Amino acid sequence: MRIMIVGCGDLGQYLGQRLAEQGHQVWGARRQVALLPEAIQPFYWDLPAPPPESLPEIDYLIYAVAADGRSPADYQRAYRDGVAAVLAALGDQLSTLKRFFLVSSTGVYHQQAGESVTEASPALPRSFSGQLILEGEALLAQAECASTCVRLSGLYGPGRERLLRQARAGQHPPAEPLYWSNRIHRDDAAAAIQHLMDLDAQSQQIEDLYLVSDTCSVPMQEVISWLGEQLGVPPQTLGALPGEGQGKQIQSQLLASTGFQWRYPSYREGYAALLSTVTAEH
């Protein structure tokens, strides 16, 4: 298959290499094309500006652009204006494209009282980031092509080690109230997108929305405690966790129903692999 990954950063590169290893032709669109691995063909694109050349003929497009910063303008460029620019650049290819995959975020959900959240749950974001991400999803839904939004929970893995740093510093949140936390390892996030694409390529029906998180939504307190134990660092209780409420519990049963199998079904397997890599490097 011919696949373009727009916003080919850490997640996109890992996914692109997996796809290339299977014999697919993969283009990676980004500003710094020199950073792309050899297996991915470079395509310079400074979104949300139009591309400097016509897009190659492709079967699938994966939009995995992340905001450059935390301002409303950054999120508008990445999620609303960027999606609009890609749809415009596709032009006549919209009618022949097999499917457009948009990498989105569970940050579009407003629930903060520990609720279980599924694809059927309402998304009424209060934050500008969630609102702008949802606007990008809406633009895609109106386009004349098949599309699927993949809402990822907290992405972690190589180079995404915030909780490890927090645990290493002994920074432990207070025992109460519990704050629910949701994660997905980068490798599983890429594998889930590839799995859904493979199903679609085999003419199996897939939905227009999937939540992608691991199978174990647990309180942040448990994750930090476990990491501290692995690192041998005694906890020092901090003040309240940032943000409002007690978080939410992201459910990925719809993804599981497609036959997807997690390599890292919980934070234990995922962080154990990450800890072994970090330890080896040091």
**Between 24 and 225, residue with greater pLDDT:** 24
> Which pLDDT score, from 0 to 100, does residue 245 have?
78
pLDDT digits (tens, 9 = 90+) for 58-68: 999 999 999 99
Q: Is the pLDDT of residue 135 over 70?
A: yes
In a domain, 150, yes or no: yes
In a domain, 282, yes or no: no
State mean pLDDT over 207-234: 93
In a domain, 164, yes or no: no
- Phi, psi dihedral angles at 63 (to 5 degrees): -100, 110
pLDDT band at 7; cut points 50, 70, 90? very high
44 contact partners, CB below 8 Å, separation of at least 6: 29, 30, 31, 33, 51, 52
Q: Are 251 and 117 in contact (CB under 8 A)?
A: yes
User: Where do the H-state alpha helices sit in 186-248?
Assistant: 186-201, 220-231
Report the amino acid identity of residue 93: Q
In a domain, 230, yes or no: no
State mean pLDDT over 248-276: 97
What is the pTM assigned to this prediction?
0.95
State mean pLDDT over 38-46: 98
Q: How far apart are CA 272 and CA 227, in angstroms?
A: 9
Q: Evaluate the omega torsion of the peptide bond into residue 177 and state whether it is cis, within 30 degrees of 0.
A: yes
**Between 178 and 120, residue with greater pLDDT:** 120
The distance from CA 167 to its chain's CA centroid, rounded to whole angstroms, is: 23
Task: For strands 218-219 and 2-6, give the pairing.
Answer: unpaired
At residue 209, the 3 state secondary structure works out as strand
Domain tally, the chain: 1
- The boundaries of the domain holding residue 131 are 2-157+183-215+249-264
In a domain, 192, yes or no: yes
Indicate which CATH number applies to the domain containing 60.
3.40.50.720
Q: Is the pLDDT of residue 221 over 70?
A: yes
Q: Considering the chain, what percentage of its residues have pLDDT values greater than 90? A: 84
pLDDT band at 223; cut points 50, 70, 90? very high
Retrieve residue 262's tokens: 């997690």
Q: How far apart are CA 125 and CA 106, in angstroms?
A: 10
Angular region, 114: left φ>0, alpha ψ -120 to 50, beta rest: left
In a domain, 135, yes or no: yes
In a domain, 166, yes or no: no
Which has the closest alpha carbon to 148: 101, 87, 98, 191?
101
pLDDT band at 282; cut points 50, 70, 90? very low
> Which pLDDT score, from 0 to 100, does residue 244 have?
62
pLDDT digits (tens, 9 = 90+) for 140-190: 999 999 999 999 999 999 989 888 988 888 888 888 888 999 999 999 999
> Which pLDDT score, from 0 to 100, does residue 169 have?
86
Q: Are 185 and 157 in contact (CB under 8 A)?
A: yes
In a domain, 104, yes or no: yes
